[in-house]
A and B are shown apart, each in its own frame.
Chain A
Amino acid sequence: GAVVSQHPSRVICKSGTSVKIECRSLDFQATTMFWYRQFPKQSLMLMATSNEGSKATYEQGVEKDKFLINHASLTLSTLTVTSAHPEDSSFYICSATPIGGLGDTGELFFGEGSRLTVL
C-alpha cells in the first residue's frame, strides 16, 4: 500500500529557532500534499495544501511566513516552523494522494505525525 513517512517523529527546540519537518511519499508520487495541525484531544486542522512546483495554499488564519511549505519534488514536502514559540507546540501531520487522484481507493494516506515541543 501507499506509504507516507514523516521525519522527525519528535522534536524539541528552543524558542526562537526554526524547525523543519519532512513528509515523503515512499512508493508513489504526489502533486498535492496536505499539512494538518492537531492540538491535544482535538481534530485535525488543515493548515495548507502543498502543491508541487508552485506555492502552497494556506487556510485562513494560518501565517504563511510562520509556516513555510516547500513541495520540492513529487515525493517530498517540507514544513518549516520559523522562529518557533511555545504556542507552536503541537502534533503536525501530513497526508498525500497519488498523482491521478485517489481513483478507486478514495484514500488519503497519512504520515505518522511529528510532535513539536518548543521550550
Chain B
Amino acid sequence: AQSVTQLDSQVPVFEEAPVELRCNYSSSVSVYLFWYVQYPNQGLQLLLKYLSGSTLVKGINGFEAEFNKSQTSFHLRKPSVHISDTAEYFCAVTKGTSGTYKYIFGTGTRLKVLA
C-alpha cells in the first residue's frame, strides 16, 4: 500500500521569500506523484505532477518539485512567494493512471504568506 507524509502542517513565510513544502511517500511499486492546491471552500487544482522522465518538474504559478527516488521524496518549492499563494497544499500519490486507481493524499500543509 502507498502512503504520503507531509511533515509540516503549517508553514508561515514572508512575502518574496523562498519556500519548500515537504512530501515523503512510501510504496512497494512505482508511483505517480502530484501536488494540488486548495483555496478556501474550493476544490483542488493541480499544481504539477511527476509521471516519468525528468525528476525536476515545473508547474503553474512558479512552483516546482523534485522527485527523489532514493529518498522517496517529492518536495515542492517556490523561489519567491506571493500573498496569493496562501492556501492548503496537498501531496498525492497513485500507482497508475488508468483512471481507476485511488489517489492517496497527504494531510496537507497550510502555507501562510505574511506581508
Which of the four size classes fits the interface of chain B? 20 to 34
B4 closest partner in A (C-beta): A43
Known contacts A43-B107, A106-B32, A106-B51: does B99 contact A97 (CB below 8 Å)? Answer: yes
- B100 interface contact, C-beta 8 A: yes
B41 within 8 A of A: yes
**Contacts between the two chains (Cβ within 8 Å), count:** 69
> A75–B48 Cα gap in the complex (Å)?
25
Assuming the contacts A30-B99, A46-B102, A101-B97, asked whether A41 and B42 have C-beta atoms less than 8 A apart, the reply is: no
A32 at the interface (CB under 8 A from B): yes
Q: Is the CB of A34 within 8 A of B103?
A: yes
How far, in angstroms, from A113 to B100 measured CA to CA in the complex? Answer: 21
Q: A43-B108, A44-B90, A44-B105 are in contact. Are A101 and B41 (CB under 8 A)?
A: no
A113 touches B41 (CB 8 A): yes
User: Is the CB–CB distance between A100 and B99 below 8 Å?
Assistant: yes
Chain B residues proximal to chain A, CB less than 8 Å: 32, 34, 36, 41-46, 49, 51, 90, 92, 94, 97-100, 102-108, 110
**Would you give 16 A-B contacts (Cβ < 8 Å), ordered by A?**
A6-B43, A31-B99, A31-B100, A41-B110, A43-B105, A49-B100, A93-B43, A95-B44, A95-B103, A100-B99, A101-B98, A101-B100, A103-B97, A106-B34, A106-B97, A108-B46
